[in-house]
Chain A
Amino acid sequence: MTAWEPPDRPRSRLAYCCPEKMAEDREPPPLADAVQTDFREVEEGEDLFVSTVSTAEQLSPTSPEPASFPAEDISTNSNGPKQEILLDDDQEDLFAEATEEVSLDSPEREPILSDGPSPAITPVTPTVIITPRVDALFDRSLDEDEEAEENGDTFDMQITVSDPEKVGDGMNAYMAYKVTTKTSLSLFSRNEFSVKRRFSDFLGLHSKLASKYMHIGYIVPPAPEKSIVGMTKVKVGKEDLSSAEFVEKRRSALERYLMRTVNHPALVKDPDVIQFLENTELPRAVSTQALSGAGILRMVNKAADAVNKMTIKMNESDAWFEEKQQQFENLDIQLRKLHASVESLVCHRKELSVNTASFAKSAAMLGNSEDHTALSRALSQLAEVEEKIDQLHHEQAYADFYLFSELLGDYVRLITAVKGVFDQRMKTWSKWQDAQVMLQRKREAEAKLQYANKPDKLQQAKDEIKEEIEEWEAKVQQGERDFEQISKNIRREVERFEKQRVKDFKVVIIKYLESLVHTQQQLIKYWEAFLPEAKAIA
């Protein structure tokens, strides 16, 4: 496992990790490689309004040019006016606006969780919004997963999401992301390829997977959340640090989402997934919009489900399920609590960074006005130390966030998906029971017919009933089979999920602790340099 490495310095430029450099190996790239690019802000169209116009032309396909990283000009691809964001040096703005993630209650998220691979999170470059690359956590070469062996080839797949680009203008603008896949799996036609996708494409993918697999008990990884506030800022063209942060947060989340999805042995083979990764053009996922017909249908279904959940009282014959559900319930509560505390820590550390910077300036001023030369010098040195320390806090806050907080957030959503799967099992059981009830009724009806008085209609009715009975017997059998199948699937999925969870947490927590180690080492360095200066005051 690679140690967490300290991020690079420059604060004002949005440095972005260059995907090509990732290409070299699947090890987390040392962040020293971070290339500074001009960050182009692209606006993602979070359409609340149904638009049937296929804006396929906006999905400007990137002609495969992975090798030449267009560090300067992606201009050829984007249809919209490009906007360069020049981040100012003003640190005060840094956290001036907390970007509130308002998640539209998107039904797509309700499904399932993936027991997919955990997000590989690499250290963050503090240089403003660099997020950890999703990587080595997904490094399966070390993993003795039996599914990988089933495939024949060892799992070898690396997905990166990069180059957010604003396409279009005004409220219809949206953000396009480049999705690059590197793999040796035979499922794919090439070893390396990339496409352009927009946020709703990801949601569309998730929606399809959920509808296909959720009801048979597969934990489908939830897609990242929609955010009205965040996206509106981006659309409106607000080119400040907080929208840049928002885009980076989203980019990272999308990457983790894809990696989790493809790490699921069944999902990676799914044609929709393959199409998503490979096809240069994708039909626009219109039904992900909240107010579309499909959207409304989803909302209705969701409400119905909620009601059902309350009314279905399942006779749990299998203690395993009861126990597991309780465990997940408890885990959910604790993870949410932990997540909240970590978010608070991130916030306070950012605050600490800002306040330390402000104190540094003040100390420098004090040093200037001090008329004793040696003391004056020492105070200036103190100011410098504090300035370096504020940088340190800033970096640590990023590590807090991208390593720890995002992991927790992902898992809170994943557990919602797990709970969804358990609910599906309940629904399946309920359907089976209903079928049994129907069958019973039909049999009673048949019995009644035996004692009926109208001989001429009797035979016809008897035949009908017999048919219906056969029909319902089949349904009952199917119901039982479905129930057993989903139970079996869930057991397997949960096992894989837990294994993955353990792995994820261990890796991330260790990386996080390494970041803390680094911070302390730097602190020691700075104070050791200062001490002689303080002693030199005569």
Chain B
Amino acid sequence: MMQEGLDDGPDFLSEEDRGPRAVNVDLQTDATLQVDISDALSERDKVKFTVHTKSTLPNFKQNEFSVVRQHEEFIWLHDSFVENEEYAGFIIPPAPPRPDFDASREKLQKLGEGEGSMTKEEFTKMKQELEAEYLAIFKKTVAMHEVFLCRVAAHPVLRKDLNFHVFLEYNQDLSVRGKNKKEKLEDFFKNVVKSADGVIVAGVKDVDDFFEHEKTFLLEYHNRVKDASAKSDRMIRSHKSAADDINRIASTLYTLGTQDSTDMCKFFLKVSELFEKTRKIEARVAADEDLKLADLLKYYLRESQAAKDLLYRRGRALVDYENANKALDKARAKNKDVLQAETTQQVCCQKFEKISESAKQELIDFKTRRVAAFRKNLVELAELELKHAKGNLQLLQSCLAVLKGDT
């Protein structure tokens, strides 16, 4: 089982539902297929997730089983969805970001190097903090991978995907290697082409009001979420820095308290103790804001991108359809290859209509999910902020009472 947080106080992840940790997505937990990440191990430069499945579906050999997966395998699964034409009409659940412990590891290393220059207490304190930070990043990456799986499991069509079942059940390494240089280059060019194409496709006016509205909405929304996400990150970073300062202040006050020959020593010690506690709360506030606000925004940044991708695919299909229509007219006019043109036109038509139909539903679902997720997170954010502020207040007031009593 994962280590619990090193600080006293409630483990912030435990406040979420113990089922699939649907942090940013409000999902129905369905007994027929439940997926979660029950454990995770961080090694040198990779993280190993234990994916645990409980299912009553006949497709699986057992009702409950676990496998170990790495990040690349999640990406493989995601990409296989994207490349599957059948799923062109769905919002593909966004892939989880790569686990990034570099920054944290660097800090731990620097701390190790600087060990000689600080007192034992300071060193232990800083080490504890960095470890807590590492743990927090770790928990986050687990949560994000889990959310991806849950989204897939909750989707009526994707949950039946064969690759998904293999992913869940096959207890050997999937031998999915990361993309090599050539493939990465190919991807790069594909993206360039796609963006250019996207511009053209987007320019085509849609007769359907619903989709036209969605197009405009998503474009603006995506940009604003991006901005909000960046700004919230900065805000939270400042908050963390301030908490760090309070930590240092507490330490120095402690030293002053032990050194002072006057009446002040008790005073300093008491205030030092107070700041130690308040700064833990401040750090927790920053962490909660990160989880409930920043992560929420980041997630919807990715999802809105996935929704945009869906619209792009539909737009592409529309263009193809219109082109096929034009080709058919031309063929009829020339009376040449009419049958072929007709078949092509029909295929395009079907494809377009299929995508349109499911896209509409997907977009509506997207909105529902989004509203629910925001609601849940904003409520929890407010509740946590209140809880911490009250905690802080209580600490401050009781300390003040003691200090004033002494004076």
Contact = CB atoms under 8 A, between A and B. Distances in A.
B221 interface: yes
A331 interface: yes
Interface of B: 217, 220-221, 224-225, 227-228, 231-232, 234-235, 237-239, 241-242, 245-246, 248-249, 252-253, 255-256, 259-264, 267, 271, 274, 278, 367, 370-371, 374-375, 378-379, 381-383, 385-386, 389-390, 392-393, 396-397, 399-400, 403-404, 407
Contact of B400 (A501, A510, A521, A535): A510
Interface of A: 1, 327, 330-331, 334-335, 337-338, 341-342, 344-345, 348-349, 351-352, 355-356, 358-359, 361-363, 365-366, 368-372, 374-375, 378-379, 382, 498, 501-502, 505-506, 509-510, 513-514, 516-517, 520-521, 523-524, 527-528, 530-531, 534-535, 537
Contacts of A1: 404
Question: Nearest 7 pairs between A and B by C-beta?
Answer: A352-B238, A345-B245, A534-B378, A537-B375, A359-B231, A520-B393, A355-B235
10 contacts: A331-B259, A335-B256, A345-B249, A356-B235, A378-B378, A501-B262, A506-B267, A524-B386, A527-B382, A537-B375
B267 A531 contact: no
A80 B243 CA distance: 47
A330 B381 CA distance: 44
Contacts of B381: 534
A334 B259 contact: yes
Contact of B242 (A348, A359, A514): A348
A371 B217 contact: yes
Contacts of A498: 262
A506 B407 contact: yes
Given A510-B404, A524-B393, A531-B382, A359 B246 contact: no
B212 to A, nearest CB: 13
Nearest to A339: B252
B136 to A, nearest CB: 19
Given A338-B253, A362-B227, A524 B389 contact: yes
Nearest to A536: B375
Contacts of A337: 252
Contacts of B378: 378, 382, 534, 537
A291 to B, nearest CB: 38
Contacts of B267: 505-506, 509
A43 B246 CA distance: 37
A370 B389 contact: no
A345 B243 CA distance: 8
Given A501-B264, A520-B389, A344 B256 contact: no
B382 A530 contact: yes
Contact of A341 (B235, B252, B386): B252
A378 B386 CA distance: 17
A349 B260 CA distance: 29
B8 to A, nearest CB: 20
Given A338-B249, A359-B232, A502-B263, 16 more contacts: A334-B255, A355-B231, A355-B238, A366-B224, A366-B225, A378-B375, A505-B267, A509-B271, A510-B407, A514-B400, A516-B278, A523-B385, A524-B393, A531-B382, A534-B382, A537-B375
B249 A341 contact: yes
Nearest to A354: B238
B234 A358 contact: yes
A366 B228 contact: yes
A345 B246 contact: yes
B371 A375 contact: yes
A375 B256 CA distance: 50
Contacts of B271: 509, 513
B386 A528 contact: yes
Contacts of B238: 348-349, 351-352, 355-356
B227 A510 contact: no
Interface-central residue, B234, B235, B259, by most chain A CB under 10 Å: B235
B264 A352 contact: no
A345 B242 contact: yes
B235 A527 contact: no
B381 to A, nearest CB: 8
A15 B73 CA distance: 62
Contacts of B404: 1, 510
B263 to A, nearest CB: 5
A358 B239 contact: no
A342 B246 CA distance: 8
A349 to B, nearest CB: 6
A319 B382 CA distance: 59
A363 B228 contact: yes
Contacts of B242: 345, 348-349, 352
Contacts of A358: 231, 234-235
B375 A517 contact: no
A531 B217 contact: no
Contacts of B407: 506, 510
A530 B381 CA distance: 10
Nearest to B250: A341
